[in-house]
Amino acid sequence: MKLTPNWKTTLTSAWSVRLLILAAVISVLPVFVSLVSPDLLGLDPLVFAGIAALVNLIAIPARILVQPTSGLWPAFRRDESGAVRKRTIGVLAGGSVALASAISFIGQWEGLRTEAYRDVIGVWTVCYGETKGVRPGDSYSKTECDAMLAREIIAYEAALDRCLTADVPTGMKVALVSWTYNVGPAAACRSTLLRKANAGDLTGACNELPRWNRAGGRVIRGLTNRRMSERAMCLKALKA
C-alpha cells in the first residue's frame, strides 16, 4: 500500500475528510456526556448517534463530487456527470467492447497459430504465443485462442493497474496493456513512461512508446512498427 499522490491536498481540502472528522467527534460526544452528565448538552445520546450517522452518509457524496478547492468547480457546472473521474482500473476486464478491442489490437501483433509449434528456442507454443501446458499436437480454434489471450490481457492489465495511478482513456489503456504484454509489468512499472502518465503528462507518456523498440540491444523493425501503432492509438484516444 502507498499514499495517493495528492494525499496532502485531500487531507487539507477534501470535504469528505472534514465530515468524517466531524462524525468521529460527534460519535465520541455521547460517551463523554454519559460519563459526565446525561443532561450536559440537553440532548439524548440517541440524537447524537443519529447526527453521526447522517454526517457519515453526507461524507459519501462529498468525496465523489467535484469540490471548490480542486479548481474543477466550473467544469462541474458544465459537465452533466458532475463527478470526478475514477481510475480506469480493470476497464478492459470489465467491458466486453474494450476487451474485444484489446484482443484485436494485441492479437494482430502477437500472431495467431492454432496448431502447436516449437518457437525459436524450442518451447512448444500455440495461439497468440501461449506456452503454459502446451504439448505437441495441441490444436485450438480461433475462439479458444481469443479466450486464452483475453485471460492474459486481464492479468497484464491487473499488473499494470498496480502502478498506473492516472486516469487514462480506454484507447490509451489498450495501448499501454499491449506495451506491457510485450515488455513485462516489471519493466513497465519502472519506466519513465509510467512516471509521466502518473504525473498527468499523458501525451508525453504516449510519446515514450517508440523508445521501446529494441531487443538484445538492437532496434527491431517489428517492435518499431508495434510501438508506432500503440502510440497512434494512445494519442488518438487523448484527442477523442
* Chain segment 24-57, per-residue pLDDT in tens: 666 655 555 445 444 555 666 666 566 666 656 6
Residue found by looking up cell 479548481 in the block = 71
Mean pLDDT, rounded, for 60-72? 51
* Chain segment 108-127, per-residue pLDDT in tens: 999 999 999 998 789 999 99
pLDDT band at 143 (very low <50, low <70, confident <90, very high): very high
Q: Is 130 among the catalytic positions?
A: no
Q: Is 119 among the catalytic positions?
A: yes
| 24 and 100 co-located in one domain | no
Task: Answer whether residue 2 is part of any domain.
Answer: no
Q: Which of 23, 49, 78 is the last residue of a domain?
A: 78
List the catalytic residue out of 44, 119, 144, 208. 119
CA atoms of 232 and 158, how far apart (whole Å): 23
CA atoms of 71 and 11, how far apart (whole Å): 16
| 19 and 108 co-located in one domain | no
Task: Answer whether residue 86 is part of any domain.
Answer: no
CA atoms of 124 and 130, how far apart (whole Å): 9
List the catalytic residue out of 110, 130, 157, 230. 110
- What is the number of structural domains in the chain? 2
Q: Give the burial string for 30-68 (b: 16+ CB within 10 Å, else e).
A: beebeeeeeeeeeeeeeebeebbeebbebbeebbebbbe
CA atoms within 13 A on the CB side of 211: 10
| 161 and 57 co-located in one domain | no
pLDDT given for residue 21 in this prediction:
75
| 33 and 146 co-located in one domain | no
* Chain segment 152-203, per-residue pLDDT in tens: 999 999 999 999 999 999 999 999 999 999 999 999 999 999 999 999 999 9
| 148 and 219 co-located in one domain | yes
| 162 and 65 co-located in one domain | no
CA atoms of 46 and 10, how far apart (whole Å): 31
Task: Answer whether residue 1 is part of any domain.
Answer: no
Domain that holds residue 151: 91-239
The model scores a pTM over 0.75: no
